[in-house]
Amino acid sequence: MTPTARIDRVAHGWRAKCLQRLVRLDLPVPQTVALPALTVRGIAAGTPVDCAAIMAHFGPAPLISVRPSPENPDWGGPATVLNIGLNAARHKALAERHGQQAADAIYLRFVQSYATHVARLDPDMFAATAPSPEAVAAALQVYATEMDEEFPQDPAKQLSEVLRSMARAWEGTTARLLRQAKGAPVDAPLGLVVQAMAQGLGQGISGSGVVQFVDPVTGEPQITGRYLGQGQGRDALNASQAMFLTRDARGPSLEEIAPDLIKDLIRHGAACRMRLREEMQIEFTIEDGRLAVLDAIKVQRSARAGLRIAVALAEDGVIPREEAVLRVEPRALSELLHPQVDPRGARDVIARGIAASPGAAVGRIVFSSHAAQASAARGEPCILVRRETAPEDIRGMHSSAGVLTERGGVTSHAAVIARGLGLPCVVGADLRLDGKNKRIHAEGRSFGEGDVITVDGTTGQVLAGAVDMLAPALDSHFQTLLGWADEFRDIGVRANADTPADAATARQFAAQGIGLCRTEHMFFEEDRLVAMREMIFADTSKDRAAALARLLPMQRADFVQLFEIMAGLPVCIRLFDPPLHEFLPHSREGLRELAEALDKPLSEVTRRAEALTEFNPMLGMRGVRLGVVLPEIYDMQAQAIFEATVEVARRGAAVVPEIMIPLVSARREVELVKTRVDAVAAAVRVRAGMDFDYKLGVMVETPRAALRAGEIAQHAAFLSFGTNDLTQMTYGLSRDDAGRFMNTYVQQGVFPEDPFHILDVDGVGELLLIGAERGRKTRPDLTVSICGEHGGNPESIAFCRKAGFDYVSCSPYRVPLARLAAAHLAL
C-alpha cells in the first residue's frame, strides 16, 4: 500500500483506510496489500485469486498476516490469522536464526490457528502445551489425522485457504445477524488486509505490544498497555510476564530498556489522534530495536470515557464541537448520571423485569415503606420490594436505594416516581412475592427480608448480593458537552418536577423550567395526608373549607420554594388530578387507624371509603371532573399559587405561573375552571394590592381534547400533551396493567414497541398533530408541548420537534438526555 493508492473505506474497509493514513503519516507500517470487498466477495463465491502473486509481492519466503477490514469497526469480522507462509523449511530457518523455542512457538501457533479458523477443527484438540519440537509434531499429527491430509506446506495454498475461510465466515448466518444487530446493512461488504509480519523475534530488543493513551473506563489521559519480549500480535495483553510501557512501581517497563522507542510511540500516538481524529490503540512490534506499527484501532471505551474523549478532542481543536456532541449517544448519558453495575464484575441474575428507571442500587430487601423508613433511619441502604407501589409508598421510596415490583409497566406508579427521584427501579419482574411470609421466589431461589440484592434499573436485572459499582460522572466534561448541545438545539427542554428536590435536580441539569408539577404528589407527606383525609371526609362545606384552609399555607410554601429554586424560569403547575380514594388507606388496619384519627366510627369511614371506590378510577372522578364537582380544591390551589407569586414578587423575583388543567375533554370544563381561577386571581390581587400575570392552559390527555383542541384553545394559553393518559385512552389500554401482556404483544409484532415507552406516532402521534394544528389555528401564539413520559425519549423528541412543539418536559434525570438528543436532531 502506498500513500497515493486509491483506498476507499467502503470498497476496502476501515482498517485498510486507517492503515493508509498511518502510511501517509510516515509511520513505520510493514508492507500492506488491501484486498477490496469486491474481490473478497468473489473469493467467497469460489472465484480463485492468484495467491502466489500476492505472496511474491512480499519478497522471498515471506510471512504474512490477514486481518478483516469491514466498513465499520463495530461490525466485527473473522479472526486475524498470523504467520501465513510458515512451513517445515521456514520453521527450520527460523530455528537457526532465532532459536528452536522461538521457532517452535510461532509454528505451533500458526498450525493451531489455521486448524481452528481455516480447517474449523475443535480448538480443544490442541491442548495448550509449551512449545517444543514434539508439540509441533503432535499438532501436525492431529491436523493430518483429522483432515486426512498433511498440513499444507505451500504458502500460496495456505493464503488461498485463509482468504476463502475468512470470506465465507463473513457471509455466515451468525456473523450476519451479529453485525446486523449493530446496524450493519444485510449486504455489508468485507475487505481484507494482507500485511508482512514484523516478527518481534531477534537478539536485540524484540517483541510486541499494544499502547493506548487514555484510560478506557474514565477517558482520562494516561498511557496504558503492555509489551512482551519475543511476543507476537496482541500476546502482551494476556501474558503474565508482559512489561508495563512507562515506568511503573509495579514492575519492569519498556521505557527503562528502550526510552527512545517509548518517545516514538508517544509521537506516533499523537499523530494518529490528530490525523485520525480519534483516540487509537496502536499495535506495534519491535524487531531488533526497530519499531513497526501494525495496526491502529479505536480505543474500546465506556460511555463516560466516550464523553470525555469527545470533549477533549474538541477542546484540543481536533474535531469541531458539533462533532463532539454528535459522537455521544444520548442514551449513553444515563450511564453517567447514576451509579452503574461495574461491567467487569460477575452477575448472578435472579430475576428480570422492565428497566423502569436507570442506575443500580444495592441494599437489603424490605417489604414495606415502613420498613424502608426504619432502614433509612438506621443508615442501612434498602431495596423496597412491592407487588406494585401506591401513593402511600412515596415516603418509603424516598427512603430506599432502589425499588423492585412484581407488577407494572414503564408508566406505572413505581416507574414514574422512581424516575422522578432518580431511583434505580425494575418493575414487572419475573418473581413471585409472598407478602405474608415476606419472601420473594425467583428461578427456584428464595430471598427474605434483610437479604442483600442489587437492582439494575439500566438492564432490568435483579442480582443476588452486592456487586461492584461505578460512581456517577457528572463532571466538568459532562457539563461542557451539554453546554455545547444547548448551543445547537432548537426545541426547549423542561422538567417534570413535583418537589423542591426535583426542582433542584432540574436546575442542576439546566432544565429551562418546570413543564409539569404534579401537585397531588405534594399531599403524600404525613401531615398533609391527614389534612387531605379530613377534607375528603368532611361532612359539610364548612368542614371542607377548614381542612382546605390547613392545606393552603402548605401548598403556598411549596410554590414559593419552587418559584425561588426556578429563579424566574417558567413553572407549570397542574391542578389536582387523581381520584380521592388514592389518598385513603387500603387495608382494614389503615381504615381503623384513620377512623381513630378522624374520631369517626369505623363503619362510617369504611362506608365512605367504599363509596369513593370506582371500577375504573383512571376513567372516573379525577382530573378536571373533580375540579368541576368539588371546585374548592382548585380554588385553594389557585389561591396558593397566586399568593406564592405575590410573596416571591415582593422579594424581587418576577414569576409568571402557568396553571394547567388535567384530563380535560370538553371546552365547558375549561370555561368553568377558568372563571373560578380568574376570580381567585382577582381576589388575591385586591387583597395583596398588587398585580401579577399568569397563564392558564390545558393538558391534552383525552382523545376528545385533541380533536376539540380548536375550541379548547379559545380559553387556553398553552396545550401540553399528557401522552401517558392519551396513550392509555387512545388504545383503551390500562397503563398500570399493560405490563402483563406487553411483552407478548411486542414479541408477536402487534406493537412495534411498548407505546407507553416509545410514542405511537401513527395513532397517538396523529392526535398530537391534530391537536397542535387545530389549537394553533384558533390561537397562533399557542404554546405547545409534551409532558408525558415520552418527553424524554429521543424518538418522541424528534417527532415533537418536527411537529413544531415549543418544548418537551421529562423527568429531571432525563433532561440531559433530552438536551443532547435535541441537539443531535438540529445538527
Q: Which does 787 bind (CB under 5 to 8 A by kind): ligand PEP, Mg ion, none?
A: ligand PEP
Q: Is 723 in the site for ligand PEP (CB under 6 A)?
A: yes
Q: Which is nearer to Mg ion, 647 or 725 (CB)?
A: 725
Q: Is 456 in the site for ligand PEP (CB under 6 A)?
A: no
* Cα gap 711→708, rounded to integer Å: 6
- Furthest-apart CA pair in the chain: how many Å? 107
Among the listed residues 12, 98, 338, 413, the single catalytic one is 413
Q: Which of 235, 335, 502, 725 binds ligand PEP (CB under 6 A)?
A: 725
Q: What track of x and - describes contact with Mg ion for positions 155 through 194 (by CB under 5 A)?
A: ----------------------------------------
Query: Measuring CA to CA, how many Å separate 141 from each of 37, 113, 231, 433, 790?
Result: 35, 15, 25, 59, 63
CB of 537 to ligand PEP, least distance (A): 24
Q: Which is nearer to ligand PEP, 392 or 564 (CB)?
A: 392
Q: Which of 211, 245, 280, 787 binds ligand PEP (CB under 6 A)?
A: 787
User: Whose grid coordinates read 407569586?
Assistant: 645
C-alpha cell at 804: 413544531
Q: Which of 369, 499, 724, 730 binds ligand PEP (CB under 6 A)?
A: 724
CB of 479 to ligand PEP, least distance (A): 28
Q: Is 420 in the site for ligand PEP (CB under 6 A)?
A: no
Query: Measuring CA to CA, how many Å separate 286 from each of 90, 230, 264, 282, 283?
Result: 21, 9, 12, 13, 11
The amino acid that residue 646 corresponds to is V
CB of 411 to ligand PEP, least distance (A): 7
Q: Is 701 in the site for Mg ion (CB under 5 A)?
A: yes
- Distance between terminal CA atoms of the chain? 36
Side by side, the strands of the sheet bearing 432-434 are 432-434, 439-442, 445-448
Q: Is 627 in the site for Mg ion (CB under 5 A)?
A: no
- For residues 577-616, which are near ligand PEP according to CB under 6 A? 577
* Cα gap 301→309, rounded to integer Å: 9
Q: Is 582 in the site for Mg ion (CB under 5 A)?
A: no
Residue nearest to ligand PEP (CB): 722
* Cα gap 584→601, rounded to integer Å: 15
* Cα gap 827→823, rounded to integer Å: 6
CB of 718 to ligand PEP, least distance (A): 14
Q: Which is nearer to ligand PEP, 302 or 811 (CB)?
A: 811
For residue 541, count other CB atoms closer than 10 A to its CB.
Answer: 11
Count the residues of the shown chain that bind ligand PEP, applying the rule CB under 6 A: 10
Q: Which does 516 bind (CB under 5 to 8 A by kind): Mg ion, ligand PEP, none?
A: ligand PEP
Q: Which range touches Mg ion (CB under 5 A), out of 135-143, 514-522, 649-657, 725-733?
A: 725-733
What is the secondary structure of 83-132 as a DSSP string? EET--HHHHHHHHHHH-HHHHHHHHHHHHHHIIIIIS---GGGS------
The amino acid that residue 369 corresponds to is S
Phi, psi of 389 (to 5 degrees): -100, 155
Asked if residue 448 lies in contact with residue 438, where contact means CB atoms within 8 angstroms, the answer is: yes
- For residues 507-536, which are near ligand PEP according to CB under 6 A? 516, 518
Residues with Cβ within 8 Å of 685's Cβ and at least 6 positions away in sequence, in order, are 642, 691, 692
Q: Which range touches ligand PEP (CB under 6 A), out of 35-43, 74-82, 723-731, 766-774?
A: 723-731
* Cα gap 744→790, rounded to integer Å: 22
Q: Which does 492 bind (CB under 5 to 8 A by kind): Mg ion, ligand PEP, none?
A: none
Angle at 500 between CA 822 and CA 598, to 5 degrees: 130
Q: Which is nearer to ligand PEP, 287 or 658 (CB)?
A: 658
Q: Which does 413 bind (CB under 5 to 8 A by kind): ligand PEP, Mg ion, none?
A: none
Q: Which does 582 bind (CB under 5 to 8 A by kind): ligand PEP, Mg ion, none?
A: none
Q: Which does 669 bind (CB under 5 to 8 A by kind): Mg ion, ligand PEP, none?
A: none
Q: Which is nearer to ligand PEP, 281 or 723 (CB)?
A: 723
Q: Is 415 in the site for ligand PEP (CB under 6 A)?
A: no
C-alpha cell at 403: 425499588
* Cα gap 610→588, rounded to integer Å: 12
Q: Is 701 in the site for ligand PEP (CB under 6 A)?
A: yes
Q: Which range touches ligand PEP (CB under 6 A), out of 337-345, 356-364, 721-729, 739-747?
A: 721-729
CB of 726 to ligand PEP, least distance (A): 6
CB of 791 to ligand PEP, least distance (A): 8
Q: Which range touches ligand PEP (CB under 6 A), out of 153-161, 173-181, 467-475, 719-727?
A: 719-727
Residue 413 annotated among the catalytic residues of the structure: yes
Q: Is 725 in the site for Mg ion (CB under 5 A)?
A: yes
Residues with Cβ within 8 Å of 409's Cβ and at least 6 positions away in sequence, in order, are 354, 415, 427, 428, 735, 736, 737, 738, 739, 742, 754, 756
Q: Is 722 in the site for ligand PEP (CB under 6 A)?
A: yes
In terms of phi and psi (left: phi > 0; alpha: psi -120 to 50; beta: otherwise), the region of 61 is left
Q: Which is nearer to Mg ion, 68 or 722 (CB)?
A: 722
Asked if residue 498 lies in contact with residue 517, where contact means CB atoms within 8 angstroms, the answer is: yes
The amino acid that residue 42 corresponds to is G
Q: Is 388 in the site for ligand PEP (CB under 6 A)?
A: no
Asked if residue 785 lies in contact with residue 718, where contact means CB atoms within 8 angstroms, the answer is: yes
The amino acid that residue 64 corresponds to is I
- For residues 145-184, which are near ligand PEP according to CB under 6 A? none
| Positions of E strands within 567-607 | 571-574
Q: Which of 229, 339, 457, 722 binds Mg ion (CB under 5 A)?
A: 722
Q: Which range touches ligand PEP (CB under 6 A), out of 296-304, 461-469, 535-543, 718-726?
A: 718-726
Q: Which does 406 bind (CB under 5 to 8 A by kind): Mg ion, ligand PEP, none?
A: none
Residue 787 annotated among the catalytic residues of the structure: yes
SS3 content of the chain, % helix, strand, coil (to 5): 50, 20, 35
Q: Which does 788 bind (CB under 5 to 8 A by kind): ligand PEP, Mg ion, none?
A: ligand PEP
- For residues 552-581, which are near ligand PEP according to CB under 6 A? 577
Asked if residue 551 lies in contact with residue 643, where contact means CB atoms within 8 angstroms, the answer is: no
- For residues 742-781, which are near ligand PEP according to CB under 6 A? none
* Cα gap 791→809, rounded to integer Å: 5
Q: Which is nearer to Mg ion, 577 or 647 (CB)?
A: 577
Q: Is 389 in the site for ligand PEP (CB under 6 A)?
A: no
* Cα gap 721→572, rounded to integer Å: 13
CB of 586 to ligand PEP, least distance (A): 20
Among the listed residues 382, 425, 517, 787, the single catalytic one is 787
Asked if residue 281 lies in contact with residue 212, where contact means CB atoms within 8 angstroms, the answer is: yes
What is the secondary structure of 232-246 as a DSSP string? -TTGGGT-TTPBBSS
| Residues β-bridged to residue 493 | 808
User: Whose grid coordinates read 473473522?
Assistant: 78
Residues with Cβ within 8 Å of 134's Cβ and at least 6 positions away in sequence, in order, are none
CB of 787 to ligand PEP, least distance (A): 5
CB of 772 to Mg ion, least distance (A): 18
Q: Could you tell me how many helices (H) and strands (E) the chain has, helices first?
A: 33, 29
Count the residues of the shown chain that bind Mg ion, applying the rule CB under 5 A: 3
Q: Which of 788, 794, 812, 816 binds ligand PEP (CB under 6 A)?
A: 788
CB of 626 to ligand PEP, least distance (A): 13
Q: Which is nearer to Mg ion, 433 or 764 (CB)?
A: 764
Q: Is 78 in the site for Mg ion (CB under 5 A)?
A: no
Which amino acids are annotated catalytic? 413, 787
* Residues near ligand PEP (CB under 6 A): 516, 518, 577, 701, 722-725, 787-788
* Residues near Mg ion (CB under 5 A): 701, 722, 725
